Structure 1
């Protein structure tokens, strides 16, 4: 099991949810931190809280969809910390809408953050990791990068893309000492449903508050629990990290019934 003490961890989407919980836990593990988020208030909150650990903490307001900004961020991190060892591409958003009614604007928005944000973060730091022949890239997909759901076509597309990109990268780097992990959370008690662009839900409802309340009922895993699972996976160099009993169950169903799982999920949703 590898030690994380003294490593520099880079986390996008660090101001809330899983990103914030990871920042707190990695600080306890002895990591120095480069934290990025588009929300300046959330970023200041977590950065201030973590200085008490005596670690080096830098904070960076960042739109991960902006390629130039991400590469400038990587330069700033390396200038400030001298190195980067653990890159966690975590920033993400959601859109709930049927594909027939999905606007190109919303599709481009979610792909820009969920997929291109991962690509930019990987490409910006990968040369440094390869030069050192060491480090770990962690890309956060979703259980919706393994199974698809109605009204989640855009989100599915972004998270399936993250999964494919990450698995190809892992194969390309298998002869190096740069590790690659793909994370697939199930329902996590974060604010993603409340910050989503919500138009059409799984059962046809269009009330965003109701949808968020339904999500809260299904989300059984806390960000802190998710962070512990991810960090344990990193220490044990796991290439694939599933979070939550729901993620493990859906992964198992998809493997067992790859052609029939949509009908099974539809039946389960109708019973809710």
Structure 2
């Protein structure tokens, strides 16, 4: 019996990417699922796929930036599925563009989804997770939550915030002698639609950035990413790095410290040739 069998797992961003892959894999492992996403059509499809695998599923069309809606979904999940054992806060969006050229509304949306939506998700479900025998909170930062890159001020800010939130919460729960673990995931380039569906500042070559990401950067399959995430969550690790690129960035950040910033303009110029 795996640690997710017959347990309740909540997944945000469940309609696509890593969130979808997590939902399907957890269904295979016998979990009961609460799936949250704002994309109604795709959410219905993944819920049906999970039910075909034998999982008991509750699908909630929810925007994670809506506190009341997230709270309501948490209450319904606890009532309908009999508790909450694990939370995978995987919903996220990306933005590219210089600060001078970026729309403030786009930057605010990135922070709202990636940090505030994650915080809402964790806070709404945590009262139920602390009652679980072996509760797990899994948050999603990024390799860009370890090092910063030019033209990703909004995205970097949100992912650094997730990292700080996760590490603080892990210490808080440990101090309280809680049985809940907190695992922060740092994905590198994963073959998802995040860039294709991303936000771009004026003047950015959207098509070139998408082509460059999908051809040169997104090397990890979502199913592979989900397996890595679940292995790390099962072992209650503090950090999980998804992909060789994320592991390389983690080493760079650890060895170079603040001096990594001296190297990033060179990296950006190299990537710029590929990303447009």
* Same fold (TM > 0.5): yes
- Looking at structure 1, the residues matched to 134 and 25 of structure 2 have their Cα atoms a distance apart, in angstroms, of 22
Q: Aligned ranges for residues 1-272 of structure 1 at < 5 Å?
A: 3-132=3-132, 134-174=134-174, 175-199=177-201, 206-216=204-214, 217-271=216-270, 272=273
- Return the alpha-carbon distance in structure 1 between the equivalents of residues 258 and 166 of structure 2: 24
Contact residue 97 and residue 204 of structure 2 kept, 8 A: no
SS in 1 for 2:19: helix
Specify whether residues 247 and 144 from structure 1 end up closer, same or farther in structure 2 by C-alpha distance, changes over 3 A only: same
Q: Structure 1 length as normaliser, TM-score?
A: 0.95
1:186 and 1:243 in contact (8 A); partners too: yes
Aligned pairs, number = 268
Deviation per residue, 1:20-71 (Å, 9 max, x gap): 0001111111111111111011101101111112221111101000111100
1:2 deviates by 6.0
* Counterparts of 1:55 and 1:225, CA distance in 2: 21
2: CA distance between counterparts of 1:106 and 1:191? 18
Check whether the contact 1:2–1:236 (CA below 8 A) recurs between aligned residues.
Answer: no
The answer to whether the Cα contact below 8 Å between 1:187 and 1:218 also exists between their aligned partners in 2 is yes
Deviation per CA, 1:186-207: give whole Å up to 9, x if none: 011100001111126xxxx721
SS of the aligned residue for 2:35 comes to strand
CA contact (8 A) 2:136 2:181 kept: yes
Deviations 1:124-174 (A, max 9, x none): 011112244641111111111110000000000111001101100000111
Q: CA-to-partner distance for each residue in 1:66-115, whole Å, 9 max, x for gaps? A: 11110011011112101110101110011112122332211211111100
Q: Could you tell me whether the CA contact under 8 Å between 2:150 and 2:268 is conserved in 1?
A: no
Partner SS state of residue 260, structure 1: helix
Matched residue SS, 2:130: helix
What stretches of structure 2 of length at least 5 have no aligned partner? none
| Shift >4 Å, 4+ stretches | none
Q: Contact 2:30 / 2:54 at 8 angstroms: preserved in 1?
A: no
User: Structure 2: how far apart are the matches of 1:268 and 1:75?
Assistant: 46
CA distance in 1, matches of 2:231, 2:134: 18
Scaled by the length of structure 2, the TM-score of the pair is 0.93
Check conservation: 2:94, 2:194, Cα contact below 8 A.
Answer: yes
